[in-house]
Structure 1
Amino acid sequence: MVEKIDKPVPRVKRAVAKTAAKTPKARAAKRSITVPYTAEDIAEIFWRFQVQRPEPESELEYSNAFTLLVAVVLSAQATDAGVNKATRGLFAAADTPEAMAALGEEAIREHIKTIGLYRNKAKNVAALSEALIARHEGAVPNDRAALEALPGVGRKTANVVLNVAFGEETLAVDTHIFRIGNRLHLAPGKTPDEVEDNLLRLIPQPYRRHAHHWLILHGRYVCKARKPVCEACVIADLCMAEVKTCDVPAALTPLPPGPPPSATAA
């Protein structure tokens, strides 16, 4: 069983009560959602994720905000491992907007041709590099609208950059988080935007900063699409998913980003 550690429940309750998302979209959609968890359950879930991985990190390799932005753009419909393999050579040749623009679309394409949709992605990387130079003096903006105005950058990419590079409490909903939100009935939604809004409304503020990475890593290595590895799950006793195979959570010990020792490939 998971060892309980004394923690200030009253403070957690207050944090849960103040979790209304502050995005315009969330404010506009003032509908309540029904989930089979209490506020204390949700706080417990994310507290366990925090104990398991106190400082989660992106599995994409990057050296600055620009290389992070490029890596996230390239990661659409591609694995992080595949992106990292391609960007090692690319970033060695160009790790600033100026260097990337000088490298040019054709050379970028040669570096990333092992990644899906590489032709269009190379075009976007070249174009966003030029846009950063022309509009932002070569700096990656800490602003959602400015980021989403860049070629190849949508809401999910902007959320990742704002969270990882600038420490903002954003939550990018990829296929893993979309699956978990619905499978666990934690934040049901028909679209990624709905799941994002619902998660931000429910996750206690102390946990919002790293919730993005905790949920992605949990979906990637434990709550897998084909068959969840419930015996390696630290929230198995709280989980309400119909596909759950056990109620006994794994030993709660700090783990680095990556698959838990008992998890096996799907």
Structure 2
Amino acid sequence: MKRLRRILTWAALSAIAVAFLYPFVWLVSASFKPRGEVFDHRILPETFTFDNYLQIWREAPLALWMANTLLVTVLAAVTVTITSAMVAWGFAYFRFPGRNLLFGVVLATMMLPGAVTMIPVYLIWNSLGMVGTLTPLWAQNLFGSAFYIFLLRQFFLTLPREPFEAARVDGAGNWTIFTRIALPLCRPAVVVTLLFEFQAAWTDLMRPLIYLRDSSTFTVPRGLKALLDQFGFGGQWHWEILMTASVITTIPMIVLFFLGQKHFLRGIATTGGR
């Protein structure tokens, strides 16, 4: 009975893995097909061609778009991780009147739809002369994120207070305790935050659509939208070009996850333990 249960478990997990992997495998396969065979549902292309990869580099400044996206994602991930960790540490370590109420207000901001603040935020950036630049895509993260504050606070709460109190007795200040002890101890949660925000910024389309005007400042999602507009004409969509661009821009996220998967899984497993 135990062996049968194990077999059924492995079968179910394998089926789920195939269901998740098939779309990406199909995407890679479609990128090597000519336009007429993109939707023939063959995993192995009947006509195998590299022309799509050559054409995409000729038709679009994909390297520039990826460089812009990398700059935005790195700045967004680093800034939101640092600021959210600082706020989370304050809520987890320090005791002050109204702490729980203030934390509840921070969490309540997650219930506010992004569409409510979209126009006021745009007017602010427009008054600062930042529309058309990459700054609005990442600078908002300087104020932290309620979700990441909650995630990191839950991890900080699982840490014993003794090392911090011992460090304080030895003369360490609050900033030293935070940077030299607290942050290294919550490395898995920090990696989770970095990966989550990196993925969110890398795939963000709404803000680039709102703030970017010139193709030289486009990010990858905005560039893909431009390619969709460029190659979708006369009722004949050049899906093979879009599939190829999607493969090229998806691979960095896959590589990033594999590089950080150990810390990612550990952070998911241990966050929220208290």
TM over 0.5: no
TM-score by length of 1: 0.31
TM-score by length of 2: 0.30
Structure with bigger helix share is 2
